[in-house]
Structure 1
Amino acid sequence: MFKTLEALDTQQHAQLCYRGVDSYAFAQQVSWAPLACSEIIQAAREMPVMFTTGEHVRPVALMGLRRDTNALVSRDGRWKGRYIPAHLRRYPFLLGATGKANEFVVMIDRAAPHFSLADEQVEGALAMFEGGQPMPEGIVEQARTFLLDFHHELEQSERWLAPLKEHDVLVERQLTLTRDGKKEVAVNGFAMVDVARLNALDDATLAAWARNGLLGLIFAHLHSQTNSNGLIQALEEPLAETETAIETEKMES
């Protein structure tokens, strides 16, 4: 969703102004979003929550059942859901690595409609810099704080979810739509907790997960799969009229 990324620079962007834009058109082709563990409960109320299958386990929220499609953004850019993932709320800002440990730079999507130049005199736009420095308590400092907090939460989430892989309870799944009696893969490349493997864990492990909150997140993840049907109903293309069922299937090895 970031089209023209630039590192925020006090000289290059000295005349840059910012205004809030109540549109999520930038996310119309974003079909999933990374989540922090603190977001899972809220996101799971209306989006299927899955997990990545790579080296690190990361939660993601599915927002579309077809590639480059977001069923929660209307054609005119309105957000149709209740919870907005932090991944989208940080736009048009992004945290960029500098190559040095624990050192980051704030980046912007310069093509975003949020930005304008001071001489353009856009209504509601506020200066981002004054005297070569970010405005005190202004949008730059707010963005930096938000980005750093989200970055740290994502790192913590990886550590918190690591036991799911260590105990081998994740199974790669694909979401399959049924149209006119024929099945077609809608989403793949993500994993779900396998209930049978979860139930096979020893009591000590399950008790530890219950105490630290991991079990609650697993239950939210499992219950969230019913939201797939809601994504079908939210689709505005004619294709949705023939999609009548959705199920998860274990990927064949």
Structure 2
Amino acid sequence: MQPLSTTRHAGKYFTQAKDYIFTRSRTTVPLVISELPRAVPAFPIAFTYSRNKYILSAVMGLKLEQNLFVTQEGKWRTSYIPSYFRAHPFYLAESQNGKQVVCVDENSGLIGDSGEPIFGEDSKPTQKTQQIIDFLEKIAKERAITDKACLVLNEHGLIEPWEGYGGLYRISEGKLKDLTGESFIQLRDTGGLKVMYGQLYSLTQMSRLRKLAEQETEPDWESMEELDFEKIKI
């Protein structure tokens, strides 16, 4: 993954992925608060822990490098595709100073000498590239809000290890009864309530994930959405 720059990527082109095979090794994927209404009916949601913070995440599999929501042929199996995947091969990455930087996956097979130009002759991003950058910058702003909500949840002792699922964390239902009215207000004002209830409501999707792992058959769910940079949105 390399930061997007004219120095490195001038004269380079990108193409759109034809399928979702590139997601097959993703066991978890980050989410932002605005995705919850569509993500909750689609995936189990948990928290992961990285760089000293909890990250709201969709759970894609039950073991490392397993994504049960994409077929062997690369078709997406459920009704919602996390925003993290929708700008591939462009992503946000956190720099050493904590800032979000637009990066390019140069190993994706989608960056080369044909397709859509990344930069124009004026060395500025082309219209399509700028559209992707705008999308990712919007996600970055929502990521900051989501991270703050997770921080407040943790400060109130509401995040605990998910028993039986190493590396995953969930909302502690036992701690909910200890919350004061003031705590609820703080959680409401920071988005913590949305994250808390979204995670709890998504627990029913864990049975779907287990059945997929056991049966290893293709469910009759909505088929893959076509990747289209003209339509990317949160």
Q: TM-score, normalised by structure 2?
A: 0.79
Give me the whole-angstrom Cα distance separating, in 1, the residues matched to 2:97 and 2:185.
Answer: 40
The question of whether the paired residues in 1 share the 8 Å contact of 2:159 and 2:172 is answered with yes
Which stretches of structure 1, 4 residues or more, deviate above 6 A after TM superposition? none
- Cα-to-partner distance string for 1:115-134 (whole Å, 9 max, x where unaligned): 3314xxxxxx2222232513
Match of 2:60 in 1: 63
Match of 2:222 in 1: none
Q: TM-score, normalised by structure 1?
A: 0.74
Q: Which is greater in Rg?
A: 1
Give me the whole-angstrom Cα distance separating, in 2, the residues matched to 1:214 and 1:138.
Answer: 34
Structure number with the bigger relative contact order (C-alpha 8 A, sep ≥ 6) is: 2
Match of 1:10 in 2: 6
Greater strand share, structure number: 1
Matched positions, count: 217
Match of 1:234 in 2: 212
2:162 alignment partner, SS class? strand
Match of 2:77 in 1: 80
Match of 2:46 in 1: 50
What 5-or-longer segments of structure 2 have no aligned partner? 218-234
The question of whether the paired residues in 2 share the 8 Å contact of 1:14 and 1:132 is answered with no
Q: By how many angstroms is 1:235 displaced?
A: 3.6
Give me the whole-angstrom Cα distance separating, in 2, the residues matched to 1:115 and 1:237.
Answer: 37
For 1:161, which of 146, 150, 154 is the aligned residue? 150
Q: By how many angstroms is 1:25 displaced?
A: 0.6
Give me the whole-angstrom Cα distance separating, in 2, the residues matched to 1:203 and 1:10.
Answer: 52
Q: By how many angstroms is 1:13 displaced?
A: 3.2
What 5-or-longer segments of structure 1 have no aligned partner? 119-124, 176-186, 240-253
Q: 1:202 to 1:6 in 2, by over 3 A?
A: closer
Q: By how many angstroms is 1:99 displaced?
A: 5.8
Match of 2:119 in 1: 129
Match of 2:182 in 1: 204
Q: By how many angstroms is 1:24 displaced?
A: 1.0
For 1:40, which of 36, 41, 49 is the aligned residue? 36
Give me the whole-angstrom Cα distance separating, in 1, the residues matched to 2:138 and 2:16.
Answer: 20
The question of whether the paired residues in 1 share the 8 Å contact of 2:149 and 2:187 is answered with no
**Matched residues, percent identical?**
23
Q: CA RMSD in A?
A: 2.8
Q: By how many angstroms is 1:145 displaced?
A: 1.8
Alignment of 1:30 with 2:26, yes or no, is yes
